[in-house]
Amino acid sequence: MNEILQSFIALGSKNPMAKIGIDIAIIFLKIAVVMGIALLHVAYATYWERKVIGHMQVRLGPIEVGWHGLLQPIADGVKLFFKEDIIPADADKPLFYLAPVIFMVSALTSLSVLPFFEGFVIANINIGLLFLLAMSSLGAYGIIISGWASNSKYAFLGGLRSASQIISYEIAMGLSLVGVMIMAGSLNLSDIVRAQQQSPLGIFAIPQILGFFIFVVAAFAETNRLPFDLPEAESELVAGYFTEYSGFRFALFFLGEYTGMLIMSSIAVICFLGGWTLPQFVMNALPVLSKIPNFFWIIVFLVKVYAFMFFYYWVRATLPRYRYDQLMAIGWKLLIPLALLNIVITATLKIMKLI
């Protein structure tokens, strides 16, 4: 195995065309690995959510399929795959087919810029954060198109609500991340993590507490999660924008939503909680830690991501849904002014060289 790899590298150093081919092959391999692992995590995120919320409501959650219900996501997947795929007679068919794909693709594309541990990222681009924001708003197209193409009033209302909600919270979210950009001096996600490690506290969540709060609230709204799940409010709109979807198209929406949550948690971890790193003072206190190979730091990253996901579920189990005008009021009257204030304070401190 090693000899084959060595011979490939030797070939690459001699022949520039072969080098390009090998690079492309490596990228495809990386994409396959990240996609596979991320989808597995998404599947088990649903299991974990049901388990956490179940226990918070003094229930057991899934427990019958496999040991403590561990095979439940697989059973769900198989069930959804073999369900009948119903398309409404009056639906706009091309758009109806397209909508879940847009939603899922925009969610999965965001994975390409996330650094999971030192040196591992599919596309190490300099506008990583901007790319993530762009992709998360592109997902709104999937929702709006599905609402329109379904030709159902519930789906349509859900789509409309989602459109206005995502547009409103996109602003607050983008502005809340500006503070991080100012502090790190970069839009590259790996650079942001490294800048955090070198900062005295090790995480941006403490100096950027205001930005972190705004980001968390906006992230809940962006991913249509409780307490801001108005686009899919069960008691009002049946299921919201995916009311008319069934079978695997529904599963695509479902997976897209959970992938979105995973990505929002990852952004929070990368931008505010220090990514795969531990704060400098912890590293100084335990010098052994610096000997751990790069790969194993993904565990730190995953623990942080799952802690944030747990917060998602925790809030879902606690808070009721907001009214629509309250949602808009929080977005426009509270979060955006606060985010602007945060930018002004951070920028002032940066100019005075205090941070």
- The residues of the shown chain that bind other proteins, judged by CB under 8 A, are 52, 54-60, 63, 314-315, 317-319
Nearer to other proteins (CB atom), residue 59 or residue 93 = 59
Which burial class, exposed, middle or buried, applies to 191 when counting CB atoms under 10 A from its CB (0-12, 13-18, 19+)?
middle
What is the C-alpha to C-alpha distance for residues 62 and 69, in angstroms, rounded to an integer? 5
Nearer to other proteins (CB atom), residue 20 or residue 319 = 319
Nearer to other proteins (CB atom), residue 281 or residue 314 = 314
Question: ∠ at Cα 130 (126, 131), nearest 5°?
Answer: 85
Kindly state the smallest distance separating residue 53's Cβ from other proteins, in Å. Answer: 9
Nearer to other proteins (CB atom), residue 26 or residue 334 = 334
Contact 210, 248 (CB under 8 A): no
Kindly state the smallest distance separating residue 197's Cβ from other proteins, in Å. Answer: 29
Compute the 3-state secondary structure of the chain and give helix, strand, coil in percent, each to the nearest 5: 75, 0, 25
What is the C-alpha to C-alpha distance for residues 316 and 52, in angstroms, rounded to an integer? 10
Kindly state the smallest distance separating residue 320's Cβ from other proteins, in Å. Answer: 10
Backbone angles phi, psi at 116, to 5 degrees: -90, -35
Kindly state the smallest distance separating residue 235's Cβ from other proteins, in Å. Answer: 20
Nearer to other proteins (CB atom), residue 69 or residue 115 = 69
What is the C-alpha to C-alpha distance for residues 268 and 355, in angstroms, rounded to an integer? 20
Kindly state the smallest distance separating residue 70's Cβ from other proteins, in Å. Answer: 16
Q: How many CB atoms lie within 10 A of CB 78?
A: 11
Give me the numbers of helices (H) and strands (E) for the chain, helices first please: 14, 0
Kindly state the smallest distance separating residue 68's Cβ from other proteins, in Å. Answer: 12
Bridge partners of residue 75, in order along the sequence: none
Kindly state the smallest distance separating residue 274's Cβ from other proteins, in Å. Answer: 23
Contact 100, 257 (CB under 8 A): no
Nearer to other proteins (CB atom), residue 127 or residue 317 = 317
Amino acid at residue number 312: Y
Nearer to other proteins (CB atom), residue 55 or residue 79 = 55
